[in-house]
Amino acid sequence: MTRYCCPNCWGNFSINYGICPECKFDIDHFYKEQTYFQKLVAALHSPEPLTRDRAASILGKIGDSRAVPQLLELLHTTDDYYSMRTIIESLELLGGDEAYQAIQMYAGHKSVIVRNAARDVCARRRTGIEFLVTKEAV
Ligand SMILES: [Zn+2]
């Protein structure tokens, strides 16, 4: 069953309301006016982990480096290790020194999931091995 979500208060509904019944946010207007990129960035703040992870993954695959600051913010604030792994992989795809320096910070993380993701990125960067996920896979 399809569920609809307000991008302002993250209320979750079975009906597609144009105006959020909980916070009165104009959902229809939001989705008409926002670009795909802006919708993905908004989805990084979803309370639903799978939604956040999908948005983070797609932002990496579309290769839009404007997402780096938002991904870094989420990486530094989330305590979900699987989300952190996804974000690290996306930051690798987006590249740049700021992203790589942040990834290096997580090479000693307490979670093996996060630590291995960061160490894999660092190893690939040192050896010049390309990450296996390509932009064409989107
Ligand atoms: Zn709402």
Tokens of 118: 């960061």
Cα(34) to centroid of ligand 1, in Å?
16
Q: How far is the CA of 93 from the centre of ligand 1 (A)?
A: 33
Q: Convert the pLDDT of each residue in 110-127 to its tens digit.
A: 999 999 999 999 999 887
pLDDT for res 138: 44
Helix (H) or strand (E) holding 93: helix 81-94
Cβ within 8 Å of residue 125, ≥6 positions away? 92, 100
Measured in angstroms, how far is the CA atom of residue 4 from the centroid of ligand 1? 11
- Asked whether residue 128 carries a pLDDT value surpassing 70, the answer given is no
Averaged over 81-104, what is the pLDDT? Answer: 95
Rounded distance from Cα 83 to ligand 1 centre (Å): 24
pTM, two decimal places = 0.83
CATH, domain range 49-137:
1.25.10
**Percentages helix, strand, coil for the chain, rounded to the nearest 5?**
65, 5, 35
Q: Delimit the domains of the chain by residue range.
A: 49-137
In whole angstroms, give the CA distance from residue 72 to residue 99: 7
Cα(68) to centroid(ligand 1), Å: 27
17 Cα: distance to centroid of ligand 1 (angstroms): 10
Q: CA-CA distances (angstroms) from residue 22 to 29, 39, 42?
A: 16, 20, 18
pLDDT band at 137 (very low <50, low <70, confident <90, very high): very low
- The answer to whether the beta carbons of residues 105 and 138 sit under 8 Å apart is no
**Ligand 1 centroid – CA 39 distance (Å):** 15
| pLDDT tier, 75 (very low <50, low <70, confident <90, very high otherwise) | very high
